[in-house]
Structure 1
């Protein structure tokens, strides 16, 4: 039986109850009604519960999702989604510092860095932190110095903690043959198409049109799948991000932000503005801030004139300072400065967020990325291995950390060959005509958009 993931009301309601508590609403009465009716908790890792709900539970879940949407938020004043209100809360909103378009070589490094970090994290996506550590240690690969491998891992350990099912065949050291398809690379490609077709003045509706033309629905997950369904139901942005979407503060908008930074070197405000128009198709509040923060960090790094710490500080200037995301990033950076052992930093972050936030939520994942970049002082290998070894959304975190650190490195030659050689300058994707494209080609296409008037 086909169980469509990430859209069934009975699977959304548990996530929405948790999200409501996080964004300042009081969901306890709704939660009591759901549980009294026998409603299940949200699936821990999958997008659908093992068995379909009864027609009664499905109708009840739909009604309760509507009730939760009507609850007022105590955090609304500190965490708006409207760009004008966001900027009004940011006293240090950045101004353009000029800067030339990043050289194609620097952009090629960024594309490669994103792919390397993603590929490193793919086999252990969804695994608990202890499993990631045990699997790496079993092969003498801790701290991570290369891609994960199954060679030498005890069978009993693999039985308890199997690799990510979708990724094991293409993402372990022994079977990597080019960069396999992943949503963390598909979305930058889609945003490259958005810029090619609509320029940097694109609208959120333009993003939606490109998605409907180029993005297979089966390649979407969480907030993106809900927004896609909402588009097909006739809803328009920004309602597409709000209607029955408990994933609106998860990591999906963040992983789409790189191209906005790559094409606006020295102008973090413009990068954040592009990221906002993109993100509001699918996300609200902290989900949007994560994308804006990332775009601003990358726009600053793309000039080659700043260290990673200045880039992160600039990223925070486009995030409302009293928001949950800003507080999480500031704390993560402090932890990374205060502790020489990064495992300690990771454990403290997990102590804070693991029990209350889904492993794909933007707040803890953005904090982990910032901590990894800070602790590694922007070094490429140090950044990607810390981001992945910290767990949660391993491939997405590795991809973003890799993009930033590779920009700072400045060229493909500055990235260790043990990371880049297995990619064979070849990317698999279902987006547009990019299947099989080389990272050098993608860099040239990105440079064209960065230099377009």
Structure 2
């Protein structure tokens, strides 16, 4: 059996790619690895087909240590600490304040589940494969759940469904929301808040992982951080040791709840999200987490998707590559109806990144939200048909548009199959209803007093 996302020989090629993306010089390390017979192409699925010889595994571990010892990649444009990020935030927030509406929180949970479920069967299938499946089943452009009915055998063989997801996420099989890490982490955030309140620490999040989150249900940066916890490291070191996935999407999928409990306060949501993110991610990986938390905080009170996107951009270091990616993508998606041209341009700009990296997926989310104009169906179908990390991006886009719309306004064909039932491996949550989750989230929500302007660092 090959354990994915943790073997040194599998991590090193990803580390070389990550370090080069960050601008660090790892050419000598890459040469030494290649001359020794190591593979420089990162394994797409998390593990190479066969175990490396002991000498190569030992060399990979040593070279990973050497990369970890190189000077950091952060700079003034991409701060690595919350104080540096916070210094760029606006002095005041113009979003409405007041109690969160149950219907909008309910819509957020339902939208997150629906978007995630739509993307589950085609996770890991490239964009052109998704289109071939849809054309073959008469569902292009995407406007409904995926189905295996009528799918020619040669297309099915060429683009096999995500084997863990297809049995429960195709149109003919859906009966409630199946388990997914994009929902597990939302449940875990809810538990952290219910247990520790708003003053929770990164150590509290790490302990919650060990207490409640099965190790086999985490991947990429989270699996590395989990391993580092078991080795005795504490945050933020858990995010930094032998972790080439530190700027991938994992933290971005974990933080909606921190926004939902801070309606109209992107700053407070981002601070909570940062504490969570630094268990496993740095820089852009953490920026993705605070961006989504800010989107979520705005979506529960905003009048349109532009207000939401404005709030998300406002918490980002403005000169960071992540901020540039989402701003550019938003501009591409705004006011257009030719979605395929938008995605073509996103692939031209970000197609060199791994399909689970944070920048390309965040750009796709921003473009889909701008293109979808607040409509759940238009938005989730756009982002999922765009490929990359389809269930995660579908979940984020669904959560934003679900909150903007509210549960009472969501189409029955997208929420009905969820059966108000969520499966989870997080103890105490398996089979829970979305209405109960919305009620528990509402109980934690802490808006600014009505009529009081929100300012950075507190209330005016």
Bin of the TM-score, shorter chain as denominator length: over 0.9
Cα deviation, residue 295, structure 1: 0.6
**1:326-337 equivalences in 2 (<5 Å):** 326-337=323-334
Q: Pick the aligned partner of 2:211 from 190, 210, 213.
A: 213
Q: Which residue of 2 aligns with 1:370?
A: 366
Moved more, 138-147 or 366-375: 138-147
CA contact (8 A) 1:101 1:264 kept: no
Runs of 4 or more, structure 1, over 6 Å off, are: none
1:396 aligns with 2:392: yes
Q: How far apart are 1:44 and its partner, in Å?
A: 4.0
1:43 shift after superposition: 4.2
- Taking a change above 3 Å as real, the CA distance of residues 187 and 93 of structure 1, as seen in their structure-2 partners, is farther
> Per-residue deviation at 1:75?
4.6
> Which residue of structure 2 aligns with residue 430 of structure 1?
425
Structure 1 pair 39–338 and aligned structure 2 pair: CA distance change class (3 A): farther
CA gap 1:97/1:352 in 2 versus in 1, 3 angstroms: closer
What is the TM-score of this pair, normalised by structure 1?
A: 0.96
2-side partners of 1:349 and 1:36: how far apart? Answer: 35
Q: How does 1:60-99 map to 2 (within 5 A)?
A: 60-73=59-72, 75-88=74-87, 90=88, 92=90, 94-95=92-93, 99=97
Q: 2:284 aligns with which of 259, 283, 286?
A: 286
The 10-residue stretch of structure 1 (251-260 or 140-149) with the greater mean CA deviation from structure 2: 140-149
Indicate conservation of the 8 Å contact 1:87/1:93, yes or no.
no
Instruction: Report the Cα distance in structure 1 between the residues aligned to 2:84 and 2:313, rounded to whole angstroms.
Output: 16
Q: CA deviation at 1:96?
A: 7.6
Counterpart in the other structure of 1:439: 434
Change (3 A) 1:367 1:94: farther
Q: What is the root-mean-square deviation of aligned Cα atoms in Å?
A: 1.5
How many angstroms apart in 2 are the aligned matches of 1:428 and 1:337? 36
Query: Cα–Cα, structure 1 residues 72 and 184, in superposed 2: closer, same or farther, change >3 Å?
Result: same
Aligned partner of residue 380 in structure 2, secondary structure: helix
Aligned to 1:28: 27
**Structure-2-length-normalised TM-score:** 0.95
Which residue matches 2:48? 49
Q: Alpha-carbon deviation of 1:74?
A: 5.5
Change in 2 beyond 3 A, CA 1:230/1:42:
farther
Question: Partner of 1:346 in structure 2?
Answer: 343
Alignment-derived partner of residue 16 in structure 1: 15
In the TM superposition, what is the alpha-carbon distance from 1:306 to its structure 2 partner? 2.9
Once the two structures are superposed, the pairs formed by residues 248-263 of structure 1 within 5 Å of their partners are: 248-263=246-261
Secondary structure of 1:248's partner? coil
Q: What SS is found at the alignment partner of 1:253?
A: helix
Distance 2:363 2:142 in 1: 20
Q: In structure 2, what is the Cα distance between the partners aligned to 1:117 and 1:94?
A: 32
2:313 aligned partner: 316
- How far off its partner does 1:101 sit? 3.0
Once the 2 structures are TM-superposed, how far is the Cα of residue 400 of structure 1 from its aligned partner? 0.2
C-alpha contact 1:204 1:277 (8 A) present in aligned 2:
yes
**In 2, distance between residues paired with 1:342 and 1:160?**
25
Cα distance between partner residues in 2 of 1:447 and 1:173: 31
Aligned length: 448
Per-residue CA deviations over 1:164-209 (Å, capped at 9, x if unaligned) read 1111111100011110000000000000000010001111001111
Task: Give the corresponding residue for 2:455.
Answer: none
Q: Which residue of 2 aligns with 1:382?
A: 378
Q: Residue 232 in 1 paired to residue 227 in 2?
A: no
CA contact (8 A) 2:265 2:447 kept: no
Task: Give me the whole-angstrom Cα distance separating, in 2, the residues matched to 1:74 and 1:228.
Answer: 23
